[in-house]
Amino acid sequence: MKLTDNITGLQHIGIPTKDMDKTKAFYQSLGFEIALETVYQGDRVVFFKLHALIVETYESDQANPVYGAINHLSLNVLDVDDVYRQVTELGYKAVEGPAQLPYWTNGIKYFTIEGPNKERVEFSQYL
């Protein structure tokens, strides 16, 4: 079996945290549901699910809330202006955008917020 036939898609994105309670509140406020909550080797681990997207968060004393190799995770949305309104009503501020980029056929419109672990969550609409 070829490698590309064996890989079926993105399984999850892992983000370490020093504050699981803030992390849970952040992702749940964005509409993610808790798919699994457990403890592994004394550390809390939570998997959040929104449609087909899974975000794993895990407690770690070595969590380093700075930008790393993964700059952001992007959520596809149908109406970015409506999502922007809802997210700002939740008290989150855009750290980037709203802005448009000339990607794909007609471009995209997006904005980005920052989570409690310095992870960036982008909301992006194909135009």
pLDDT digits (tens, 9 = 90+) for 80-123: 999 999 999 999 999 999 999 999 899 999 999 999 998 999 99
On the question of pLDDT at 1 being above 80, the answer is no
Tokens of 73: 């995770």
CA-based nearest residue to 57, from 123, 121, 117: 117
Give percent of the chain with pLDDT exceeding 90: 72
Q: Which domains does the chain have, with CATH numbers?
A: 1-60 (3.10.180.10), 71-127 (3.10.180.10)
Task: Write the pLDDT tens digit of every residue in 51-67.
Answer: 999 999 999 888 887 77
Give Cβ neighbours of residue 35 (< 8 Å, ≥ 6 apart).
47, 48, 49, 54
pLDDT at position 2 is 72
Which own/partner contact pairs does 66-73 have at CB distance under 8 Å and 24+ positions apart? 66/118, 67/118, 67/120, 70/13, 71/120, 72/112, 72/119, 72/120, 72/121, 72/122, 73/13, 73/119, 73/120, 73/121, 73/122
On the question of pLDDT at 69 being above 70, the answer is no
pTM confidence score: 0.77
